[in-house]
Amino acid sequence: MRYRVLGGTGIHVSVHCLGAMMFGSVGNPDHDDAVRIVHAALDQGVNFVDTADMYSMGESEEIVGKALAGRRDAVVLATKVHFPMGDGPNMGGNSRRWIVRAVEASLRRLRTDWIDLYQVHRPDHTTDVEETLSALTDLVRAGKLRAFGCSSFPVEEIVEAHQVSRRGGLGRFRTEQPPYSLLARGVEAAVLPVAQRYGMGVLTWSPLASGFLSGKVRKDQAVDMTSGRARLNPHRFDQSIPDNAAKFEALEQLVALAAEIGRPLPELAVAFAAAHPAVTSVIIGPRTMEQLDGLLKGATLTLDDGILDRIDEIVPPGTDLYRADGAWRSPYLTDPARRRRPLADRAAA
C-alpha cells in the first residue's frame, strides 16, 4: 500500500481509503460482517476510513466505532456533517449550533475522543461560511478535531472559504472530496487545480461511477432494474436517451482497454483516479469482502502515459458523461425563483 500526505496536515494516509457508506441498513446490515471488512482493509495496509453521520442515519459510524476498538490510534478517521439527522429545521446544515451538536454525536457513535478529518458534506447557503469555519476552528482548538475539509463544493465556494479564512484568521478547509471517475472528469477543469493551488488534500468518491464501471453494466445488455441504483434511477440506464448512449459507448471502449492490459475494469477505474497529481486518496466503498478484495487489487496497478492517453481519447479531460448520485447542484439551477425577477418587476420593465 502506498501513502501520501493529506494536504498540508502532515498526516500520512493510504492511497486507498475505505468508505463506509455501504455499512448499515442501506448496504450491508450485518454489523459483524462489516467489521470484518474494516479489519481486512486495515490488515492490507489501508489506514484511512471515511464515513458520515447520515450514512444509514448514524449506523455506519456505529459500525466503524466497533471495528476500530483497539486499533483507533493507527487509523486516520474521517466523517462528515450537513445532512438532516432528525425532524426539525435545526437538525442539519452548517450552522455552529448544529455542527457542535453533530460532532458530539459522531464522537459517541465512533467511540473516540477525536476525529482526524471532519468534512462539511455539502454547501449550505443559509449559513455564512465564516460561521461554519469559526465553529470548526474552535473545535480544532478544543481538541475534538485534527483538521477539517469540505465535500462536493463548487470551485467558487472553495475559493471563497479560503479567502474568508485568511481575512478572519480562521482555520481553513484542508481537503475537498469530489466525485471523480473515468466517466465523470468535470472536476479536472477547476476543482482539482484549485485544490492543488491551495495545498488541499483530495479524497475522490464514486470511482466506479455508481456501478457503471463495475464490469456488470454493458451496452445492449439487459440491466436488472429491480434493485440497487437501477431501481432508484431507471432513466440512467435507458440507452435510447442520447446522453446515455454516449456513456454506454465510452463504457464499451473502456472495457476493451481494460481487457488489453489484462485487468478488470474496476481496477482500471480505481487506478485512473489515483493517477491524478491532485488526488491524495481514492475512496472505495465495498459492501462485501469480495468487493473489497477486487478493489484493492487496483492498488497494484500503475497506468503509464500510453494508457492515460487512450483514456483521454475515450473520455476527454474535463468531460462529464455521468452525473454522480448525490452530487451537489447549485440552487440557482434547481430553484427557478432564484433566476427570475418577481412578475410585477418584469411587467414594470
Whether the Cβ atoms of residue 99 and residue 91 lie closer than 8 Å to each other: no
Residue type, 265: L
* Helix and strand element counts for the chain (H, E): 13, 10
Catalytic residue among 3, 55, 118, 198: 55
- For this structure, is 55 an active site residue? yes
Residues 6+ apart with CB under 8 A from 192: 178, 180, 202, 276, 278, 279
Neighbours of 126 (CB within 10 A): 9
Residue type, 177: Q
Please state, in angstroms and as integers, the Cα–Cα distance from residue 288 to each residue in 12, 60, 71, following that order.
26, 14, 21
122 burial level (CB within 10 Å; 0-12, 13-18, 19+): buried
- Enter the C-alpha cell of residue 13: 494516509
- For residues 234, 236, 238, 239, the Cα torsion angle rounded to the nearest 10 degrees is -160
- Enter the C-alpha cell of residue 311: 483514456
Whether the Cβ atoms of residue 174 and residue 117 lie closer than 8 Å to each other: yes
Cα 209 from Cα 180, distance rounded (Å): 8
- The set of catalytic residues is 55
